[in-house]
Structure 1
Amino acid sequence: MSCSSPSPLSPAEAVTQEAEAAQARQAMVRRLEEQGVLSDPLLREALLAVPREVLLPRAYVRRDAGYPEPVVLELLDGVHPEDRKEWLELIYSGASVLAQRNGEALEGQVRGRVKGGRITSQTSVVSMTVQMLQDLRLCPGLSYLELGAGPGYSTALAARVLGAGRVTAVERDAEMAFAAARRLAALGLEADVVAGDGLDGHPERAPYERIAFTFSVPYLPVKVVEQLAEDGLLLAHLTADSPSWPGLVTVRKAGGRLEASVCGSRLGHVPMHGYSWVSLHRHKDRVGAEPGRHRAGSLAPPPEGARGFWLALAHLFFPRFRSVS
């Protein structure tokens, strides 16, 4: 791995790089609008104002084809001239960005290639982040609890919309929580990022008018639901073993009563710590040895787009993912 440090930027180079990042940000917002994802003017303003490059100064990319073991990753450093173009395109592509490996200290990251290990923090797909924040119907002055802050991008957008001191974010990885808090402060965004278990919420500042999980959960924890304020709204992705079968859970509190609904969703956040998506790669040897046999049936299988059916099937088939508290 390379550990050489690039020379400091001249004032002219710094201005050029800021302009490049602003253009990439504008292009990302245009794509979201053209895709019909972004409609909230306050969130649009936040997307244009929050520099992802400050929250994601480095990012991992895969450098292998298919699914070899161990996985080959390369850490791109945004200040390094050899990395900057690819890094900037990556963080504004709208795709999920891999930010941390093996719980490493973020300020100790070294650019270059590595093999193996496990990604321990990443951003969500931007379109999903935007949709979640729009579904929460954020407006200035509301109190908001975010569970699973990660690098802090959705936290930053919420803080920009809601105002100073209105956002609390919980992140299980202390290193990531510290880095997100420091980078948010550098942007002048007053959000409280704390290290802790998202399944516990953050009762010290409850109740909250809006709550969102930014990792998928196998069930809704009662502790968190109890922190929802009157007339409040909570969103979470309920997950099964397959990324094709997430469900969006919406909980509303009115008149002291809770109303909840679950609907199949095209996208879902990454599973909570200790859970993982099903992978054909992990089962290919067994499938090759025991391929099973075809059976004739009178009914065709439901289409991939029948998300509610597949979600229900997943929760029946995988008992540990049933919605229990």
Structure 2
Amino acid sequence: MEAGSPLEDALQSIDRGVLVPEFALHENTPSGTRYRRVSRDDRDQRDEWEKHVYSNESLIIEINGLPLDEALPEGTGRGRWTSSSTMPGLIARMIEAFDLSESTRVLEIGTGSGYNPAVLSHLIGSVHLTSIDVSPRLVSRATARLKSLGYAPTTAAFDGHKGYPESAPYDRIIGTTAFPFVPAAWLGQVNDGGIILTNLAGMAGGAMLKLHTGPDGAEGRFLDDWAGFIPARHEAQPEQAEIDDEEEGDTHTSFLGAEVFDDQKSAFLAQLVLGTSRVARILREDGSALLLIEDRDGSRAEVDTESDGEGFTCSQVGPRRLWSDLEDSYRWWVEQGRPSWSSFGVTVTPDEQYVWHGSPTSGRRWRLAPTV
């Protein structure tokens, strides 16, 4: 970011504290994640609030789909955070990759606290910005706080998977939530020559993707700098297929264990293979750990997290052998020198979308399977 640039001016001019009057800090405990609400209005917490809200860090603003005053009425509690105010440094990196001008029409997916909409409004003017979020409460509060700062973009409570056709077409779409595929609705809402910037990610891993749109779809590469966002939510979640408990599966000893998810590069590869699958580490009754992977098509893999000396015991059932597919791609990845996400790209057409390595016309591909 250049000194004295419009972006630097925007970041210095906007008071993040107005948009984030409270947030939650978290700590991991043996019984799960514990949250503690920190508020500007609590005199005893004012110094702590200022320290975090004016630092380059992401701040939790919603838990279990509820604003913090409802999620943590007693000041502390447990749950799963569902929205955060993005760290200013990441906002700057994304906007620098976005090629904005004062007349650029932008759709932002993920209003959140309103901080990113404030920066964008400062740069392009509120009239050119539409910002949506699946959470009506977040949209309502962010809209009021943006207005107090003099910004009035179009805002709406809307499922980001659908884009926002009411204000289309756009020159840019920016997603500040994570999607395991590029929502098909976006293609029809961006002008040719436009840009889509989003976090293509799922429960395994992901990276930031920059697509250039054209008459036949969109194509582009993953950015060099890694970033991650909270998964986007649907208004209604797609149903999980039933797993046939009578179906005979298979068991084998795998050379690959749960550590594949511990490195950002190999986790990115795992995401290409696993797509919309759910990934969880659970404990058996005997205290041993198990990696459980379930896909919406009914495929399931269970992998021991501890080696028996020969490898990791893996059991699989369903229409796909999820872990075997990952083993195959992992072997290829090692043979290629363990390439980073920036050597991969994505092609999106009205009929299909896939990730490719090296070139969109040759080399290995992984299909991205939309669920809506």
TM bucket, shorter chain = 0.7 to 0.9
**In the alignment, what sits opposite 2:12?**
48
CA distance, structure 1, for counterparts of residue 3 and residue 213 of structure 2: 23
Alignment match of 1:270 (pick from 216, 230, 237): 230
RMSD over aligned CA atoms reads 3.4
* Structure 1 residue 192, shift from structure 2 partner: 1.2
Work out the number of aligned pairs and report it: 277
Query: What's the secondary structure of 1:246's corresponding residue?
Result: strand
CA contact (8 A) 1:76 1:112 kept: no
**In the alignment, what sits opposite 1:228?**
190
Q: 1:309 to 1:44 in 2, by over 3 A?
A: closer
Q: 1:93 to 1:105 in 2, by over 3 A?
A: closer
CA contact (8 A) 2:177 2:230 kept: yes
**In the alignment, what sits opposite 2:66?**
104
Is 1:134 the equivalent of 2:96?
Answer: yes
Is 1:324 the equivalent of 2:369?
Answer: yes
Alignment match of 1:293 (pick from 303, 310, 317): 310
CA distance, structure 2, for counterparts of residue 130 and residue 276 of structure 1: 31
* Structure 1 residue 291, shift from structure 2 partner: 5.0
* Structure 1 residue 105, shift from structure 2 partner: 4.5
CA distance, structure 1, for counterparts of residue 308 and residue 88 of structure 2: 38
Q: Which runs of 5+ in 1 are unaligned?
A: 1-36
CA contact (8 A) 1:40 1:134 kept: no
Is 1:153 the equivalent of 2:170?
Answer: no
**In the alignment, what sits opposite 2:179?**
217
TM-score by length of 2: 0.65
* Structure 1 residue 76, shift from structure 2 partner: 0.5
Q: 1:116 to 1:99 in 2, by over 3 A?
A: same
* Structure 1 residue 92, shift from structure 2 partner: 2.2
Query: What's the secondary structure of 1:94's corresponding residue?
Result: coil
CA contact (8 A) 1:38 1:130 kept: no
Paired letter, 2:107: L
CA distance, structure 2, for counterparts of residue 156 and residue 280 of structure 1: 38
Paired letter, 2:115: Y
CA distance, structure 2, for counterparts of residue 204 and residue 51 of structure 1: 30
**In the alignment, what sits opposite 1:15?**
none
**In the alignment, what sits opposite 1:260?**
219
CA contact (8 A) 2:82 2:230 kept: no
Runs of 4+ with deviation above 6 angstroms? 274-277, 281-284, 299-305, 309-312
CA contact (8 A) 2:23 2:68 kept: no
Paired letter, 1:293: E
**Which range is displaced more, 192-201 or 81-90?**
81-90
CA distance, structure 1, for counterparts of residue 142 and residue 192 of structure 2: 29
* Pairing of 1:179-194 with structure 2 (within 5 A): 179-194=141-156
Is 1:94 the equivalent of 2:56?
Answer: yes
CA distance, structure 2, for counterparts of residue 90 and residue 276 of structure 1: 34
* Structure 1 residue 204, shift from structure 2 partner: 0.9
TM-score by length of 1: 0.73
Q: 1:86 to 1:280 in 2, by over 3 A?
A: farther
How many percent identity over aligned positions? 22
Q: 1:247 to 1:167 in 2, by over 3 A?
A: closer
* Structure 1 residue 246, shift from structure 2 partner: 2.1
Identify, as 1 or 2, the structure richer in strand. 2
Q: Deviations over 1:15-51 (max 9, x none)?
A: xxxxxxxxxxxxxxxxxxxxxx566811111101111
**In the alignment, what sits opposite 2:211?**
250
Query: What's the secondary structure of 1:121's corresponding residue?
Result: strand
Query: What's the secondary structure of 2:43's corresponding residue?
Result: coil
Paired letter, 1:263: F
Q: Deviations over 1:96-122 (max 9, x none)?
A: 100012222566576754232221211
CA distance, structure 2, for counterparts of residue 137 and residue 309 of structure 1: 21
Query: What's the secondary structure of 2:177's corresponding residue?
Result: coil
Q: 1:69 to 1:44 in 2, by over 3 A?
A: same
**In the alignment, what sits opposite 2:340?**
306
Q: 1:277 to 1:311 in 2, by over 3 A?
A: farther
Alignment match of 2:132 (pick from 170, 175, 183): 170
Q: Which runs of 5+ in 2 are unaligned?
A: 238-275, 291-303, 313-330, 347-354, 357-365
CA distance, structure 2, for counterparts of residue 68 and residue 278 of structure 1: 20
CA contact (8 A) 2:187 2:213 kept: no
Q: 1:241 to 1:204 in 2, by over 3 A?
A: same
Q: 1:94 to 1:79 in 2, by over 3 A?
A: same
Q: Deviations over 1:167-221 (max 9, x none)?
A: 1001000111111111111111021110010011111111011111111111111
Identify, as 1 or 2, the structure richer in helix. 1
Paired letter, 2:20: L
* Structure 1 residue 127, shift from structure 2 partner: 2.2
CA distance, structure 2, for counterparts of residue 53 and residue 303 of structure 1: 45
